Structure 1
Amino acid sequence: MENSNSVFWTRYKKAPIVGIIRGQSLDSILRIAQAYEEAGLTTLEITMNTEAAASIISTVKKEFPSLNVGAGTVCNLEDLREALDAGAEFIVTPIIDELVIEHAVDENIPIFPGAYSPTEIYKAWSLGASAVKVFPATQLGVEFIKDILGPLDQIKLLPTGGVSKFNIRSFFEAGAFGVGMGSSLIDKKMVGEGDFIGLKKHFVTIRAEIAGFLNP
Structure 2
Amino acid sequence: MATDSSFSWERYYQAPIVGIVRSLPLDTIRPITQVYQDAGLFTLEITMNTPGAPKIISLLRKEFPGMNIGAGTVCTMNDLTLALNAGAQFIVTPILDERVVKHTVARQIPIFPGAYSPTEIHQAWSWGAAAVKVFPATQLGVQFIKDILAPLNQIKLLPTGGVSQENIRSFFVAGAVGVGMGSSLLDKQLIEEKDFDSLNQHFIKIKGEIQDFIQS
Map of 1:65 onto structure 2 = 65
**In the alignment, is the contact (CA less than 8 A) between 2:7 and 2:110 conserved in 1?**
no
Q: 3-state DSSP class of the match of 2:20?
A: strand
Tell me how far apart the structure 2 counterparts of residues 36 and 95 of structure 1 sit (CA, whole Å). 27
Tell me how far apart the structure 2 counterparts of residues 60 and 67 of structure 1 sit (CA, whole Å). 9
Tell me how far apart the structure 2 counterparts of residues 77 and 64 of structure 1 sit (CA, whole Å). 26
Return the offset for 1:49: 0.1
Tell me how far apart the structure 2 counterparts of residues 211 and 126 of structure 1 sit (CA, whole Å). 30
Could you list the per-position Cα deviations for residues 9-58 of structure 1 after superposition, in whole angstroms to 9, with x for gaps in the alignment? 11111100000000001011001100100000010000000000000001
| Amino acid corresponding to residue 185 of structure 1 in structure 2 | L
After superposing on structure 2, the runs of 4+ consecutive aligned residues of structure 1 that deviate more than 2 Å are 4-7
Return the offset for 1:8: 1.6
Return the offset for 1:7: 5.1
Tell me how far apart the structure 1 counterparts of residues 120 and 8 of structure 2 sit (CA, whole Å). 25
Map of 1:210 onto structure 2 = 210
Which runs of 5 or more structure 2 residues have no equivalent in the other structure? none
Map of 2:127 onto structure 1 = 127
Count, aligned residues: 214
| Equivalences for residues 2-151 of structure 1 within 5 A | 8-151=8-151
Map of 2:196 onto structure 1 = 196
Tell me how far apart the structure 2 counterparts of residues 64 and 134 of structure 1 sit (CA, whole Å). 28
Tell me how far apart the structure 1 counterparts of residues 49 and 184 of structure 2 sit (CA, whole Å). 19
Q: 3-state DSSP class of the match of 2:54?
A: helix
TM-aligned CA distance change 1:105 to 1:7, over 3 Å:
closer
Task: Tell me whether 1:171 sits opposite 2:171 in the alignment.
Answer: yes
Return the offset for 1:61: 1.1
Q: 3-state DSSP class of the match of 2:133?
A: strand
Tell me how far apart the structure 2 counterparts of residues 168 and 68 of structure 1 sit (CA, whole Å). 21
Q: 3-state DSSP class of the match of 2:208?
A: helix
Which runs of 5 or more structure 1 residues have no equivalent in the other structure? none
Tell me how far apart the structure 1 counterparts of residues 187 and 64 of structure 2 sit (CA, whole Å). 20
> RMSD of the TM alignment (CA)?
1.4
Q: 3-state DSSP class of the match of 1:20?
A: strand
TM-aligned CA distance change 1:6 to 1:194, over 3 Å:
closer
Could you list the per-position Cα deviations for residues 82-103 of structure 1 after superposition, in whole angstroms to 9, with x for gaps in the alignment? 0000000000000000000000
Tell me how far apart the structure 1 counterparts of residues 163 and 200 of structure 2 sit (CA, whole Å). 18
TM-score by length of 2: 0.97
Could you list the per-position Cα deviations for residues 154-202 of structure 1 after superposition, in whole angstroms to 9, with x for gaps in the alignment? 0000000000000000000000010000000011111111111111100
